[in-house]
């Protein structure tokens, strides 16, 4: 893709993202991040539905709900209750399912290059996600370990 096509793609992505309102704080995501926080907007895209959220809002919602509700409820969309295992940070909003699938694939590819924060000093058992974790479980000697089944988190 040449520079002109890349610039056009970015302009289209920017246009798709304009006017998107967070389903939690009800603010225009572009305006809140750009004008209030003075940084680029970050969407929190759920794998299972098409509802729009600020990355900060959806992460906070999932974190706060964790103390009061079952994991199944916490991992659901606040609007439609469709289950999503993870939140994908994105600079632009994606409408098209093919674009969303591509975003998910890139997210998973990028995360598996990073060391899991739960695997410290070679203790693979510390990761609650086990073999379902998207991050790399690398021991100090360079060995990659998949891990066991995820622990039940209530």
pLDDT tens per residue across span 73-130: 778 899 999 998 889 998 888 888 998 999 999 999 999 899 888 877 666 667 878 7
- Look at the chain and count its residues: 154
Q: CATH fold of 3-111, please?
A: Herpes Virus-1 (3.30.40)
Mean pLDDT across the chain, nearest whole number? 80
**Of the given ranges (15-19, 58-62, 98-102, 141-145), which has the lowest mean pLDDT?**
15-19
CA–CA dist 145, 149 (Å, integer) = 12
Per-residue pLDDT, 41: 64
Per-residue pLDDT, 4: 72
pLDDT for residue 134 is more than 70: yes
Q: Pick the closest to residue 77 from 44, 41, 28, 32 (CA basis).
A: 44
Per-residue pLDDT, 130: 79
CA–CA dist 18, 95 (Å, integer) = 12
pTM above 0.85, yes or no: no
Domain chopping of the chain, boundaries = 3-111, 114-149
CA–CA dist 53, 61 (Å, integer) = 10
C-beta pairs of 62-67 under 8 Å, 24+ apart in sequence: 62/87
């Amino acid at each position: 893709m040449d520079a002109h096509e890349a610039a056009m793609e970015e302009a289209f992505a920017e246009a798709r993202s304009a006017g998107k309102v967070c389903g939690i704080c009800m603010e225009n995501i572009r305006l809140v991040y750009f004008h209030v926080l003075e940084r680029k907007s970050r969407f929190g895209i759920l794998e299972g539905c098409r509802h729009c959220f600020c990355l900060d809002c959806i992460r906070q919602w999932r974190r706060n709900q964790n103390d009061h509700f079952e994991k199944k409820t916490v991992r659901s969309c606040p609007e439609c209750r469709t289950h999503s295992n993870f939140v994908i940070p994105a600079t632009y909003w994606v409408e098209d399912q093919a674009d969303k699938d591509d975003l998910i694939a890139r997210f998973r590819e990028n995360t598996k290059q990073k060391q899991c924060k739960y695997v410290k000093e070679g203790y693979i058992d510390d990761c609650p996600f086990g073999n379902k974790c998207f991050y790399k479980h690398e021991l100090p000697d360079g060995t990659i370990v998949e891990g066991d089944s995820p622990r039940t988190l209530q």
